[in-house]
Structure 1
């Protein structure tokens, strides 16, 4: 247990950052799963409305990844790799 004021503050800050990091990472994972599911349905139908829906989900994933990078949740290369992988999947469909 922390004995001084600065150590107690660091514990609180670490908890806050942990929650923030977990929010960004879990949200990106959840949206990625939704994107992949929608991508499979688009591959079967080739419907324009499905492609627009995919683009909206992809934009929201990009936004979360960029915000996570800005807040040091993701390393620069990790964020770029995640975005490139998703865009390549969409382009291949």
Structure 2
């Protein structure tokens, strides 16, 4: 257990950030899955910009690596184009 007041605060803030990051990451993964399961091209195209925004926010906050964000966006674009 932490001995210093600042260490206790760090534990509290880290836990809050962990929960928020987990929520945002899971929400993005679900949105990506929705695009991959979509059969209608217009529907998938409409969701694409929102998902790109979510992915960019995760990369900006270092929740996911920037290269992973680029790969996801590229693969999703190819998938939607092939519908």
- The TM-score with structure 1 as length reference comes to 0.79
Q: Distance in 1 between matches of 2:75 and 2:12?
A: 35
Number of residue pairs the alignment of both structures matches: 83
Q: Distance in 1 between matches of 2:14 and 2:6?
A: 12
- SS of structure 2 residue aligned to 1:2: coil
- CA-based RMSD of the aligned residues comes to 1.3
| Aligned position for 2:16 | 16
Q: What stretches of structure 1 move > 4 A for 4+ residues in a row?
A: none
Q: Distance in 2 between matches of 1:56 and 1:80?
A: 19
Query: Is the CA contact 1:24–1:65 (under 8 Å) kept in the aligned structure 2?
Result: no
- SS of structure 2 residue aligned to 1:20: helix
Structure 1 residue runs without a partner (length 5+): 43-50
CA deviation string 1:24-64 (max 9, x = no partner): 210111111111121xx22xxxxxxxx33211211111111
1:29 aligns with 2:29: yes
Using the TM superposition, give the Cα deviation of residue 90 of structure 1 relative to its aligned residue in structure 2, in angstroms: 1.1
- The TM-score with structure 2 as length reference comes to 0.88
